[in-house]
Amino acid sequence: MTPAAFPERERVDAHDKVLGRTRYAADLPFPGLLYAMTVPATIARGTLAALPTAPALRVPGVVRVLTAADFPPPAAPAGGMPAPPTLTDEIAYRGQPVALVLAESLEAAIEGAEALEPVYAQQSFAPLIDSAGAARAPAEPVRAGDAGAALGAARATLQERYVSPAQHHNPIEMLSTTAVWADGMLTIHEGTQAAGPVRAGVARALGLDPAKIAVSSPYTGGAFGQKGGVQRQTAIVAQAAILTGRPVKLVMPRGQIFHNATFRPLSRHQVTLGATAERPLSVIRYDADHQQSRTGQFPPSYHESTRVCYDVPDYDGTSANVRIDTQDPGYMRAPHPHPAHFALESAIDELSYKLGRDPVALRLEVPATKDPVSGHPLSSCLLSDCLRVGAQRFGWDRRSAAPRSMRLADGTQVGWGVAGGAYPVNTTAAIATLRIGADGSTRFAVTGHEFGQGIRTVIAQLLQAELGIDASRLDIAIGDTRAAPQHTTAGSWGTNSVVPAVAKACERLKAAMAELLAGRPVEGGIHRQLAAVKRPFLQVEVSTLAAGQDPSALDRLRAGGFAKAGPEYPGYASHSYIAHFVEVRVEPRTRRVRVPRVVSVADCGRVVSPRTAASQVRGGVVMAIGSALREETEVDPRYGGWLNADLADYVVPVNADIGDIEVEFIDRPDPLTNAIGTKGLGEVSMVGAAGAIANAVYHATGIRVRKMPIRIEDLL
């Protein structure tokens, strides 16, 4: 039986945010604050031959210039992971910071940074994925069945190549670090998704005891993966605070963010599909590679979700890193599934035309029930429900099948496209403390970060539902190593990992309360009951593990290590799903593409906070519109580095680019993931949407564009 839907509630932090009361890391005032500015390398590869600091020190207000000499030598890699970078004389990419200027004012710091004239010894470099000097390194293949034999026996096959460009996230909150060194304790204030790993990473980079470091990020102003680890400037700024004994703040300028933040690497996807007489899709061979830095760790894991949307017993997945001279790429919303499903869902659309089949009907004919690689059943897969509900809401039955067959009176071409998507369900260990006061207060401290996705609202919703607490006096402490051990919040595991912790804490608290009342009937809510038995507060601490997770995950969590499980769990695999239906309009003369209407239907298990969940999906669709039609970071091969490193030239969608985005949820609890039945939503919301846009563009124009972004010149 499906439980009643959770009620629609407003975002708990909405008022403060709208009123500008929310303090982000860079907003915090500190007496005696020093302002910092980084000096970016102007070569793409080489070494720093000399860096005279006198020109900066002559600027009034500049107090110190940090160079590589101010840092310990890099720590040895641990567990295959290099220590977070500081300043070195080795230049690996254009824009890498070579010095940090500290001053009494921001203006002086900037002037000091601009006054420096580093002397470089340049070396040759490989700026592009197909440059001479690019080094291809294959990863482990992912295989099930015998794709070669299946393709040989197929009635129809399709092979195409798709390209997803390099892209940079641009959350509104810039990258920043404010570090305070006082009484032998280093406190780092930084918008992050990973307070615990930042603490562990800075300790490694600077040779400090992690117990002497605290990291605080109660609010993060947009993240999307860019803030998922130790940032390029974090340890540098921390060292500046230690060496000067004063609080130091760096807000990285947008132009430097392009060079120093992780980014979505360019990726290439060759997809081969086969159909038999019985099944319109039965086999996938898929080879992916992506742009990688020389020592980067972001894996080419393009095969996790592409094998669990449709029933394909024969799957052959290969992938590779292509190492060039760039900064480290990294996670950007739906990192692998977004480009992978752009390719897969475009290819399935192409196959549907080849077979003369409706693209929704084709997909409905081959629903996935298991992961072909592990052979494990899926905990739930309601992609077919998403497709059916979406088709109905969108009015898909009014679509005329032939490309170029729908147009408006003025000649505008109309296209309707569909695509599905999936994203792994991940879960992390969590530790939480719940304290209920007789005075009406509630404090909940837990592993997790709020970057606008709504994790606080999810927590508040459950605490109200389970305990009837006074929500107006609820304090939720997250993103702070002082409140609870902090893992990274990413991979759409935030809600999914915090929900079991809230559920378990509520259960424990109810048991403790029952023991306290010892059968006495006491009127009123939980706070009144405590007052009645003269207990100022009741507190419980709980820890939770993912299904089948070894308890050592809690130790890794406490140490700022990796404590994630999924999408493979004991005996099953788990993924979230979505279907997107998109209408595009292509103007007859300018060939400009508009997206007036999208219907997205998601299967993320149980929806705990309907309002923030719908907002997540809208955000994912907006990001996909940006990806499909606007965003690409370009390299000038003569110099390396990024050419369009600002928001004037890196074009993102604006309000006028976005039409109606209707969101609906299947809202059926997953029977296996956790007590509430959540899966995950933040990233699946984007997956497939770019493919649906490309498919709609084809339906409108008859032109198949196999790369993002789709531009006017592609449709002339």
Among 71, 181, 302, 331, the residue binding ligand MOS under the rule CB under 6 A is 331
Binding mask 94-113 toward ligand MOS (x if CB under 6 A, else -) reads: --------------------
Segment near ligand MOS (CB under 6 A), from 88-96, 206-214, 221-229, 280-288?
A: 221-229
Segment near ligand MOS (CB under 6 A), from 222-230, 266-274, 531-539, 659-667?
A: 222-230
Q: Min. distance of Cβ 167 from ligand MOS in angstroms? A: 12
Q: Min. distance of Cβ 404 from ligand MOS in angstroms? A: 37
For ligand MOS, the closer of residues 623 and 705 by Cβ is 623
Say if residue 560 is exposed, middle or buried (CB neighbours under 10 Å; 0-12, 13-18, 19+): buried
DSSP 439-485: TS-EEEEES---SSS-HHHHHHHHHHHHH---GGGEEEE-SBTTTS-
Residue list 137-196, contact with ligand MOS (CB under 6 A): 193
157 pairs with which residues across the strands? 274
Distances (CA, A) of 340 to 167, 316, 420, 446, 706: 15, 14, 12, 33, 12
Distances (CA, A) of 257 to 227, 264, 267, 327, 614: 11, 13, 21, 11, 29
Phi, psi of 413, deg, nearest 5: -85, 135
How many Å apart are CA 455 and CA 458, to the nearest integer? 5
Kindly state the tokens that stand for 161.
């190549």
Among 228, 280, 317, 610, the residue binding ligand MOS under the rule CB under 6 A is 228
Q: Min. distance of Cβ 699 from ligand MOS in angstroms? A: 30
572 pairs with which residues across the strands? 569
For ligand MOS, the closer of residues 225 and 560 by Cβ is 225
Residue 184 CA, chain-centre distance (Å), reads 34
For ligand MOS, the closer of residues 193 and 231 by Cβ is 193
332 makes contact with ligand MOS (CB under 6 A): yes
Segment near ligand MOS (CB under 6 A), from 15-23, 219-227, 427-435, 512-520?
A: 219-227
Residue list 232-261, contact with ligand MOS (CB under 6 A): none
CA atoms within 13 A on the CB side of 195: 31
CB count in 10 Å sphere of residue 370:
18
Q: Min. distance of Cβ 685 from ligand MOS in angstroms? A: 12
For ligand MOS, the closer of residues 6 and 224 by Cβ is 224
Residue list 480-499, contact with ligand MOS (CB under 6 A): 490-491
For ligand MOS, the closer of residues 305 and 413 by Cβ is 305
Going by C-alpha positions, the residue among 399, 330, 431 that lies closest to residue 699 is 399
For ligand MOS, the closer of residues 332 and 469 by Cβ is 332
Segment near ligand MOS (CB under 6 A), from 133-141, 223-231, 310-318, 560-568?
A: 223-231
Residues 6+ apart with CB under 8 A from 379: 425, 569, 572, 573, 574, 670, 671, 672, 673, 679
Q: Min. distance of Cβ 21 from ligand MOS in angstroms? A: 26
For ligand MOS, the closer of residues 81 and 153 by Cβ is 81
335 makes contact with ligand MOS (CB under 6 A): yes
Amino acid at 129: I
| Three-state DSSP string of 47-112 | EEEECCCHHHHCCCCEEEEECHHHCCCCCCCECCECCCCCCCCEECCCCCEEEEEEECCHHHHHHH
Kindly state the tokens that stand for 649.
């030239």
Shortest-Cβ-distance residue relative to ligand MOS: 225
For ligand MOS, the closer of residues 169 and 246 by Cβ is 169
Segment near ligand MOS (CB under 6 A), from 217-225, 342-350, 469-477, 558-566?
A: 217-225
Task: For tokens 């003025």, name the residue.
Answer: 410
- How many residues of this chain interact with ligand MOS, rule: CB under 6 A? 11
**Percent of the chain as helix, strand, coil, to the nearest 5:** 30, 25, 45
Going by C-alpha positions, the residue among 429, 418, 431, 525 that lies closest to residue 477 is 431
Residues 6+ apart with CB under 8 A from 402: none
24 makes contact with ligand MOS (CB under 6 A): no
Segment near ligand MOS (CB under 6 A), from 4-12, 33-41, 224-232, 587-595?
A: 224-232
479 makes contact with ligand MOS (CB under 6 A): no
Among 225, 448, 485, 640, the residue binding ligand MOS under the rule CB under 6 A is 225
Q: Min. distance of Cβ 669 from ligand MOS in angstroms? A: 23
Q: Min. distance of Cβ 494 from ligand MOS in angstroms? A: 9
Q: Min. distance of Cβ 238 from ligand MOS in angstroms? A: 23
686 makes contact with ligand MOS (CB under 6 A): no
Kindly state the tokens that stand for 671.
């029977």
For ligand MOS, the closer of residues 229 and 669 by Cβ is 229
How many Å apart are CA 690 and CA 414, to the nearest integer? 17
Among 333, 338, 370, 630, the residue binding ligand MOS under the rule CB under 6 A is 333
How many Å apart are CA 494 and CA 681, to the nearest integer? 9
Q: Min. distance of Cβ 405 from ligand MOS in angstroms? A: 38
Q: Min. distance of Cβ 160 from ligand MOS in angstroms? A: 26
> What does the binding site for ligand MOS look like in residue numbers (CB under 6 A)?
193, 223-225, 228, 331-333, 335, 490-491
